[in-house]
Structures are given as C-alpha cells and as structure tokens.
Amino acid sequence: MTVEDLQELAEQEQARQAKFSHRLMYCSAAGCVSCGSLNIRDMLKKALQEKNLADKVEVIGTGCMGLCGEGPLVKVLPEGTLYQRVDEAAAKRIVDEHLVQGPIVQDNVVDITHPFFAAQFKIVLENCGRIDAERIEEYIAVNGYEALARVVTEMQPGEVIEEVRKSGIRGRGGAGYPTGLKWGIVRKVPSDTKYVVCNADEGDPGAFMDRSVLEGDPHRILEGMAIAGYAIGAQQGYIYVRAEYPLAIERLRLAIKQAERVGLLGNRILESQFNFRIDLRIGAGAFVCGEETALIRSIEGRRGRPRPRPPYPSERGLWGMPTLLNNVETFANIAPIIRNGSSWFNAIGIPKSTGTKVFALAGKIRNTGLIEVPMGIPLRKIVFDMGGGTPEGTEFKAAQTGGPSGGCIPAEHLDVPVDYESLNAVGSIMGSGGMIVMDSTSQMVDVAKYFMDFCKDESCGKCIPCRVGTVHIHGLLEKIAAGKATTDDLGLLEELCVMVKETSLCGLGQSAPNPVLSTLRFFRHEYEELLKQPETFVPSGNGNDPTTH
Amino acid sequence: MPTPTAPTPHPSGDNRFKLLDRAITKHQSRGDALIEVLHAAQGIFGFLENDLLIYIARALKLPLSRVYGVATFYHFFTLKPKGKHTFVLCTGTACYVKGASKIQHAAEECCKVKFGQTTSDNKISLISARCVGSCGLAPVAVLDDHVAGKMTPESAIARLKTWQEQPDEVTT
Amino acid sequence: MAIVTLTIDGEQLSAKDDESLLQVARQHKIDIPTLCHLDGISDVGACRLCLVEVEGWTKLAPACTTRPLEGMVVHTSTDRLKKYRRMIVGLLASEGNHQCAVCTVNNHCELQNLAYDVGLLYVRVPYLYPDKHIDASHESFILDHNRCVLCTRCVRVCHEVEGAHVWDIAGRGIDCEIISDLNQPWGSSESCTSCGKCVLVCPTGALVKKGESVAEMEKHTEFLKYIVTARRKGEWISVDTDEE
C-alpha cells in the first residue's frame, strides 16, 4: 500500500458513508454491552427494516460515549443526538419518531450542552462515538494512519522524537515522565534489536480509561506504537493487555490483522524501509505487572516480580534489549500530535502538563463515566459541574485519584488544578485516571484499609518491607477500625508506612502506604476518634486532641 | 531459542491435548510463551491440574518448579476445578464505595462458603475480582461470564438461589 | 571498565565501575548488612538491608545492585538506615516461626547475627504465627518453612550453579513459599541431585542436614568461591538473573 492508496481508501469510505442519511451509533463497549446494547442493536435494525430504511441508515457499534452509568447509549449522526437508557421501546421510537418524522425522543435524550459533555476536550476519545471500532476503513476515513504515513515518508526518526518532545506530553500511566525524553534515551542506546511495549495492564481498581480506548479505537494505539517504533528504531511491539478485558483483546486482535492485511503493519510499511509488527501478550491477573520491570518479566513468561532499577528498561528491557514502555493513553496521543503539530498540543492544558487527561469518574457521584478534560482543570469543576456532585442528601468528602498508589483529596483542596505537580502537592498523584468520589458515608479508615488489603494481596512477595510491612499495616488498620488500638499503634502505623514507602523495591511497595498517609494527613481525626482511650493519655505529635470523650 | 518440536500425542488419548499441542506449536514450544500456553490450557481443560503442568513443562522444556511458580503467581490461573456456575464479584474501588461488601456477605451467607471457594456440591464458585472495568455500573458482578451491573444483595441472592435450585442433570 | 573515585562514609575511595557498591565497601572493610546477597550467585536486591543513602538521590539504593559512579557520596549507616534495618529484621522475625533455642543452626544463623548487628531488642509488630509445615521427606536434608526468610539463595544456587532448578517460589505476597518441583515432597523430586548446595547457602535453619541436633549445624558458603572462578566476575552482579 502506498500513501496514495491510503488516501483513496479514506475517500472510498467517506463516499460509502455519504450514501447513508443517518448513522446510528450504539455503544459497544463493555459497560453498555452488559446493559444489553447488542439487543438494542437488533431492535434498531428490525425497526429500520420495518420502515424500509435499512439501506439508508447504518447501525454501527462504536466506542465508549462516556455516560456509562446511563447505558445503553445510542447516538444519531450526523445530528449528534445522544440517547440514554435506550430500551426496546425507545429504540423503536428513535427510528419511528426521530428518523422518520423528525422530532427527537424527549424521554431519552441527553442534554449534551451539560458540562459533563461541554467541558470535555477530546483527543484520545475523539473517535469514540464516531467510528466503528471493528473496521479499519472507518479509522482511515477520519485521518487514521495519516500521521504514520507522514512519519515514514517525510520525517527522520530524530524529527519525530523532537516533535513529541516539543509537545510536552508526559507519560499517562501515572508517574508523568516526559515521553519525548524517554524516546530519545531508547533511540540513543545502540542495538539492532529494540522493542516497543504498550502497557495495557490497567490494574487500578476503579479505572477503565484504557479499556475504553482499546475497545473503541484500537487502531489509534497501533498507529502510535508504529510511530514510536520508527522513532526509536524498533521492529517489534507488544501490547500487554489484561485478561479481564476480553472485548479489548478481541478488538486488538482484529485490528492487528486488518492493519497487516492492508500493509500498515508488517514489512515495508507504506512502501518505506520500515518494518514493524505487533503481538499481543495477555496478562493473568497481577496488579504488580503494571510496574515496568515486572511487566517485562511477565511478557517473558515468568513470575511478574520487579527487579531493581537501574538498569532501566530503556537500556536493558525485554530479553535484555532496549525497550520503550508507554501506557495506552500515551500512545493514543501520538498520532494527533504528529498530525496537528506539537504547538497545537502544547497549547492545550497548562505549561508543565500539556494536553488532556482521561478520567474514569465513579463512586458517589451523579454522573459516572468517562471524561477527557484539559490538564489543569480545577477538581471542583470535574466533581460538581461535570459529575453533578454527590447524590441527594449527602456531602462531598473526598476524591480519590491514583488508585492504591494515590491519595484522597479533601473538600478544602477542591480547587486544586488537576495536573501532575499540583496533585502531588496535596498528597495524591495523577495516576492512570481513576477518580472515585466519596461522600459523608465513607469512613476514611475503612477506605485506607480497603486499599491496604488490595496492596497486601497484590504484593509479589519479593522484598521484605512490602511483603510483610503491608500485612502489618493492614493489621493495624483493622485494629484501629475495631476500636482496639492505642496512640502507640497509630505511631507505629505511621512509622511502618514511611519505612515501607522508602525501602520497598518497586513502585507498588513505595506507593502502597500513600492512601494511609494521605488519609492520616487530612482525616487524622477519624483515626483518633477510633482509638481506645489509654489510661494515661499522651497527646500525639501534631497536637490534635481526640474528640471523643 | 529452542528449535520447534512437535509434541508427542498424550498417552491417555484425551483429544483435548491435541488442542493444547496446537497452542504449543503456535508458539514454537518457546519457554517464554509459558503464560500464553497456560491460558490456552486453562481454556481447554478448565483448570490446571498437576498432570497438565508436567505436560506443559516437558513440552516447553522448563523446570517443573518454574511452571508451578508461574501458575500460582497469577490470580487468573486456577489449580482446582471451578463450580458449575461462577459468581465473580468485583471488589474494585467504585464497587467498594457503592457497597460491594454487603453483596459479598450476602453471597457468602447464601452459599455457606467464603469467596475464593466452591460449594461442596460443586455448583457455585464465589470469586472476587479486582475491578472488571465497568465502574459506571457499580456494584458489578460477572455471573457465568455475563456482566451484571447495579447489583444489590437481594439480586445476588436471587441469582444464587436459582443456581442452587437447579437440578443436577440440567445443564445451561 | 573504568576507575572512578567516590566517597563512602567520609572515606575517599577508588573503585572499578563494574563492581557493586557492596563489593567496594567490603574491600575497604566498611560493613553493610546483607541477607539475600551471597558472593558467587547473582544479586536480586530483595532483602533491602543493604540500602544506602547517596547524596542527591531521592531514593535509597541497594548497595548490592548499585554501581559506583564518579564523585558519588555514599552513607552506609545513618540513623535512618539503622532504624530501617532494625525494622526490616523485625518484620522477618514476625513473619516466620523462629525459635532459636531449638534450632540446629542456633549460634550459626545469619538471621540471628543480623538481629544482634542491627540491635533488634524486641519486635514491635505482632508475630504472625503462620501455619507452616516441615518437609523431612528427603533422605539427607530437611526443609522447615517456619524458618524460611525467602531470600531465594537456594533457588539461585540450584539454578545458577548446580543447574538443576529444583527450587522456585510459589504464590505471592505473604503466601510465598519455596517449592521443589510441583510443590511436592522434596524426597520425591526427580530433578534434585541431592548435592546439598541449597543447604549450605541457606542463611537460617530452613534447610538443614538430617541428624544434627540443636546448635550443631554450621553452614559453609566458601565452596562457591571455587566453583564460580570459572565465571566472569562481572556476571556476579547481574540483574537479569534467573532467580525464579
């Protein structure tokens, strides 16, 4: 395939789509499928047939449209009308009323001028709700693979890296390492064999951003990885995806096959000298495999135990070769950066955190689902304007970001801008994008205990502080929650947390105490209220008196 | 890289081993494909019993203890047979905040076993999962591979009861 | 290979840049406690006892897998490090069922020595009293899981030196356990050559010879020095070890 062939394919697909008066996009992501969206698809098709519209209106499965709590969702294009909670009757009405007569179905329509939609800025999710995730032609028709074509025909690898560097994008997996810098390091290591690895082991409980991208727009990841391969000099890529995401695995397999068939992956891509293949590796349920050295071990077919760094995977990674490891969302941003230029990307967000971030909004909040917002947006805007605040009759207490490695942000910090540095300053992290809202019914000691239970179960057991320390921290939290602990126990808890944080081998252990430390920082009184009154009371370090009598 | 070898047929004559051999050959009997092969084996046989692990270790030329170590490291692999029905409760953060623990207690009470175990009549396995990624529908459970959102203790018990009351010979 | 100069505990030293900080320190009689490290087998950086402070680094570095760099300033026994080492040994003590008074390696035990060295007077965390078993099925040796600290020395010596790979680790987290073959009784293992290397390198009474009584068993690791002379020295600090 040549670049001209690619353009022709895009035009053919656009012409094909132009023949239809409407496109009915039903959500085919895991959330809506579990609410019966496949049944709705059949209903829509049946209703269209009854009205003799089957050849005028296309019914298409598309990626996550965000409002996951109100599924199944159906979008009518070209108008862009979004319907929620579409049941069989509503499906019939959408065809009978909206398509045939014109007026929209008021009972199910979603107000897309609501901040939940209006305040979003879509780069990563731009194609979700817009294209059929299972057809490469539709991706190509919306400028898909255009960036790869430009890269392999017009750009030098160094120029690609420079463009990524100038965009200011930082790793979306949580730590926020500058992506361009990472690529530059791997490029410089001399080696005939290098690898590109996509970390799709989205293990944070309460996070489903990556899954939505993989399910809704798999080609975007393949394109991003191929561009990375060209830039660093790799010919082989791996996507390490969790076994818990069967639909994402299926769509990725299909996407790889399609891209190979048309010559966008494989040998001599777009008639250039560049060869690049991508294989899938399926995880098997270990949170620690999100850590890069553990992930590499797991791809090699071994126990996913991390090893000390340095050497970093950029020097010695998969099978000892230089390896570039990025997260799904990072790769998803690459094609738009190349297509629109680094200065376009740079202008979004704030200077030190450019671009957008996808968050999975869940917990005690009215509008749950997936949102993509510019970096630097105040947390308050996400929780109250977009999320609609906590349910009737309860009060906002904390927003938890970063999963088991992150922290709880209390109400007094609601105005914190959502960017890497600001979130760190309030004791949490950007993380991969899980955002769980807690209201006044959530007990913070219990929340800390929940996360420590998770970390204790997910500890690989290699280093002592994490293997044994997390068990004792969890035990102390249980003791506190049961009202059997003393101020000495609270002191020991803090000491253990700091020790595990500073001495553990990998990121899991080093961040495992964060949920405890952050709740201790902002909700210390909740811990103290639960302490048993000792016979001789010694005030704790920060001077807070327990409020119980 | 080890040279590809065609595995010899399994002496038991169990045809399922042919399927497993196909998966092993697909990966050229490479040791680094261990996790992929274990996935295939569990898909075919339902669980990984010792004989199967020995067979895989021989085919991939790996030490037995390495194979056992990998099989027990990952939650996804199970060395014991599962019940006829599986009730997978998501215990991710969103589900936790929305009260998954109440469903957990209700299910344990109803089945008289803890999560991670199978009922004595082999009908139901209670399994907990670390987030199935359908957080918008929290609390979520996966009932025999079908995702069910917005669960309540009552809806969980109702489903478990129907499973319990199914006569043995009926297969779904 | 190049020579670099660095400072360890105030002492100006020169070192080869393909050695580990631990090797350099020990050559200069600077003592850093270790447990999972053993001269002659690869390093895994798992026990975290050899953590040192390096000026300008935000994180603590394991001396066994960190290489010396030009101008590096290293501190090996600050109050913070001493405290953490005490806590780590305390965690180990709480994790198993270590009863020194009835142990065949009493007074020859590395865990016991570590406890003295780091000044562990009492264990602040509660003992976990795990339910562990003893495998006495091997004709010459005994494996007592109660006394295992999961240093993986046996796993590494068996794989790297003997080449048998009898041992590995099963499970994860606090449930990790050393296993032989398919988690079967050691005596029934077909891959074990009964060479006894694992017993000699075991730092505690987890792997011992049969027939020895309390405080009789002494461990010898010198044999490794003769076996590994055939290997290039640089490989001793390999991080791509086949540990498990």
Q: What is the tens place of the pLDDT at every residue in A73-86? A: 999 999 999 999 99
* Any domain includes A486: yes
Cβ neighbourhood burial of A547 (10 Å; 0-12, 13-18, 19+): exposed
* Any domain includes A328: yes
Among chain B residues, CA nearest to A451? B93
CATH topology of domain C3-77: Ubiquitin-like (UB roll) (3.10.20)
Which residues of chain B are within 8 Å of residue C169 when distances are taken between CB atoms? 69
Contact A389, A383 (CB under 8 A): yes
Beta strands in B17-110 (DSSP E): 85-90
Q: How close A444 gets to chain B, by Cα (Å)? A: 11
Q: How close A284 gets to chain B, by Cα (Å)? A: 5
Q: What is the pLDDT of residue A174?
A: 77
Which residues of chain B are within 8 Å of residue C176 when distances are taken between CB atoms? none
Phi, psi of A467, rounded to the nearest 5 degrees? -65, -45
Among chain C residues, CA nearest to A318? C240
Number of domains in chain B: 2
Tokens representing B128 are: 């907990």
Phi, psi of C169, rounded to the nearest 5 degrees? -115, 135
Tokens representing A146 are: 């255009």
Which residues of chain B are within 8 Å of residue A243 when distances are taken between CB atoms? 39, 76
Three-state DSSP string of A129-180 = CCCECCCHHHHHHCCCCHHHHHHHHHCCHHHHHHHHHHHCCECCCCCCCEHH
> Which residues of chain C are modeled with pLDDT < 50?
229-244
Tell if the CB–CB gap between A368 and B130 is shorter than 8 Å: no
From the list B50, B53, B66, the residue facing C165 with the nearest CB is B66
**Domain of A110?**
3-118
The arithmetic mean of pLDDT across residues B24-43, rounded, is: 95
B94 plus B43 within the same structural domain:
no
Which residues of chain C are within 8 Å of residue B65 when distances are taken between CB atoms? 165-168, 170, 179-182, 191
Radius of gyration of chain A (CA): 25
A364 plus A381 within the same structural domain:
yes
The arithmetic mean of pLDDT across residues B56-75, rounded, is: 96
User: What is the percent of chain A where pLDDT is above 70?
Assistant: 97
Residues 6+ apart with CB under 8 A from A482: none
| pLDDT tens profile A467-502 | 999 999 999 999 999 999 999 999 999 999 999 999
Neighbouring C-alpha atoms within 13 Å toward the C-beta of B98: 32
Tell if the CB–CB gap between A456 and C174 is shorter than 8 Å: yes
The residue that leads in pLDDT, B95 or B10, is B95
Tokens representing A138 are: 């539709």
Tell if the CB–CB gap between C170 and B69 is shorter than 8 Å: yes
How many C-beta atoms surround the C-beta of residue B101 within 10 A? 14
A178 plus A292 within the same structural domain:
yes
B145 plus B90 within the same structural domain:
yes
pLDDT tier for residue A545 given thresholds of 50, 70 and 90: very low
* Any domain includes B2: no
pLDDT tier for residue A546 given thresholds of 50, 70 and 90: very low
State the maximum Cα–Cα separation within chain C, in Å, rounded to a whole number. Answer: 54
Tokens representing A398 are: 């904390």
Which residues of chain B are within 8 Å of residue C171 when distances are taken between CB atoms? 72-73
Kindly report the pTM of this predicted structure: 0.92
Contact B92, A206 (CB under 8 A): yes
Number of CB pairs < 8 Å for B and C? 45
Does B64 lie at the interface with C, CB-CB under 8 angstroms? yes
Q: How close C238 gets to chain B, by Cα (Å)? A: 20
Mean pLDDT of chain A, nearest integer: 93
Tell if the CB–CB gap between B130 and A363 is shorter than 8 Å: no
Classify the phi-psi angles of B145: left when phi > 0, otherwise alpha if psi is within -120 to 50, otherwise beta: left
CATH of the domain at A418: 3.10.20.600
Nearest to A466 by CA among A341, A337, A294: A294
In eight-state DSSP terms, residue C233 is: G
B117 plus B65 within the same structural domain:
no
Asked whether residue B4 carries a pLDDT value surpassing 70, the answer given is: no
* Any domain includes A133: no
Q: How close A297 gets to chain C, by Cα (Å)? A: 10
Contact A332, A342 (CB under 8 A): no
* Any domain includes B147: yes
- Three-state DSSP class for residue A532: coil
B54 plus B33 within the same structural domain:
yes
Identify from B53, B55, B58, B65 which residue to disrupt to test chain C contact, counting C C-beta atoms within 10 A and taking the largest count: B65
Identify from B131, B144, B155 which residue to disrupt to test chain A contact, counting A C-beta atoms within 10 A and taking the largest count: B131
Return the residue matching tokens 């190349």: A338
Tell if the CB–CB gap between B135 and A208 is shorter than 8 Å: yes
| pLDDT tens profile A390-400 | 998 899 999 99
Interface of C with B (CB under 8 A): 159, 164-172, 179-183, 191, 244
B161 plus B89 within the same structural domain:
yes
- Three-state DSSP class for residue A382: helix
CA distance B142 to A369: 19
| pLDDT tens profile A500-523 | 999 999 999 999 999 999 999 999
From the list B30, B35, B147, the residue facing A30 with the nearest CB is B147
A325 plus A207 within the same structural domain:
yes
CA distance C158 to C189: 13
Instruction: Look at strands C141-144 and C134-135 and give their pairing.
Output: antiparallel
Cβ neighbourhood burial of A303 (10 Å; 0-12, 13-18, 19+): buried
**Domain of B46?**
16-73
A237 plus A355 within the same structural domain:
no
Q: What is the pLDDT of residue A35?
A: 83
Q: What is the pLDDT of residue C228?
A: 59
* Any domain includes A360: yes
Asked whether residue A305 carries a pLDDT value surpassing 90, the answer given is: yes
CATH of the domain at B158: 3.40.30.10
User: What is the percent of chain A where pLDDT is above 90?
Assistant: 86
Query: Residue ranges of the domains in chain C?
Result: 3-77, 82-232
Q: What is the pLDDT of residue A544?
A: 39
Contact A295, A208 (CB under 8 A): no
Q: What is the pLDDT of residue B169?
A: 55
Q: What is the pLDDT of residue A494?
A: 97
* Any domain includes A458: yes
* Any domain includes A135: no
Q: With residue A241 as reference, give the H or E element that holds it.
A: strand A236-241
CATH number for the domain running over C82-232: 3.30.70.20
- Three-state DSSP class for residue B19: helix
A83 plus A9 within the same structural domain:
yes
Asked whether residue A342 carries a pLDDT value surpassing 60, the answer given is: yes
Tell if the CB–CB gap between B136 and A69 is shorter than 8 Å: yes
Number of domains in chain A: 4
Does C96 lie at the interface with A, CB-CB under 8 angstroms? no
Residues 6+ apart with CB under 8 A from C205: C103, C104, C105, C106, C109, C144, C147, C217
CATH of the domain at A471: 1.20.1440.230
B23 plus B54 within the same structural domain:
yes
CA distance B30 to A279: 15
A272 plus A368 within the same structural domain:
no
Among chain C residues, CA nearest to B69? C170
A339 plus A448 within the same structural domain:
no
The arithmetic mean of pLDDT across residues A327-332, rounded, is: 97
| pLDDT tens profile A234-255 | 999 999 999 988 899 999 999 9
Nearest to A497 by CA among A480, A479, A472: A472
* Any domain includes B6: no
Does C73 lie at the interface with A, CB-CB under 8 angstroms? no
B108 plus B141 within the same structural domain:
yes
* Any domain includes B4: no
Instruction: Look at strands C141-144 and C51-54 and give their pairing.
Output: unpaired
Which residues of chain A are within 8 Å of residue C243 when distances are taken between CB atoms? 305
From the list A311, A457, A503, the residue facing C60 with the nearest CB is A503
Which residues of chain A are within 8 Å of residue B91 when distances are taken between CB atoms? 205
CA distance C52 to A521: 28
Tell if the CB–CB gap between C44 and A307 is shorter than 8 Å: yes
Question: ipTM of this model?
Answer: 0.94
A210 plus A69 within the same structural domain:
no
CA distance B12 to B16: 10
Q: What is the pLDDT of residue B172?
A: 42
B39 plus B66 within the same structural domain:
yes
In eight-state DSSP terms, residue C89 is: H
Q: How close A204 gets to chain B, by Cα (Å)? A: 8
CA distance A157 to A184: 10
Which residues of chain A are within 8 Å of residue C88 when distances are taken between CB atoms? 464-465, 499, 503
CA distance A390 to A395: 6
* Any domain includes A541: no
CATH of the domain at A193: 3.40.50.11540
pLDDT tier for residue B5 given thresholds of 50, 70 and 90: low
Interface of A with C (CB under 8 A): 286, 302-303, 305, 307-308, 311, 316, 320, 456-465, 467-472, 475, 492, 495-496, 499, 502-505, 510
| pLDDT tens profile B133-145 | 777 788 989 888 7
| pLDDT tens profile A142-162 | 999 999 999 999 999 999 999
Tell if the CB–CB gap between A35 and B131 is shorter than 8 Å: no
pLDDT tier for residue A204 given thresholds of 50, 70 and 90: confident
CA distance B17 to B22: 9
Which residues of chain C are within 8 Å of residue B63 when distances are taken between CB atoms? 159, 164-166, 168, 181, 191
Tell if the CB–CB gap between C181 and B64 is shorter than 8 Å: yes
Residues 6+ apart with CB under 8 A from C36: C43, C44, C45, C46, C47, C64, C151, C152, C153
B37 plus B92 within the same structural domain:
no
Sign of the dihedral defined by the CA atoms of residues C86, C88, C94, C100, in that order: negative
* Any domain includes A520: yes
Q: With residue A58 as reference, give the H or E element that holds it.
A: strand A57-62
From the list B50, B53, B63, the residue facing C191 with the nearest CB is B63
Tell if the CB–CB gap between C183 and B68 is shorter than 8 Å: yes
B90 plus B150 within the same structural domain:
yes
Q: What is the pLDDT of residue A534?
A: 58
* Any domain includes B34: yes
Question: Which chains are adjacent to chain B, needing at least 3 Cβ pairs under 8 Å?
Answer: A, C
From the list A33, A207, A300, the residue facing B32 with the nearest CB is A300
B63 plus B131 within the same structural domain:
no
Does C165 lie at the interface with A, CB-CB under 8 angstroms? no
A413 plus A395 within the same structural domain:
yes
Among chain A residues, CA nearest to C168? A303
Domain boundary among B30, B48, B73: B73
Q: With residue A495 as reference, give the H or E element that holds it.
A: helix A487-503
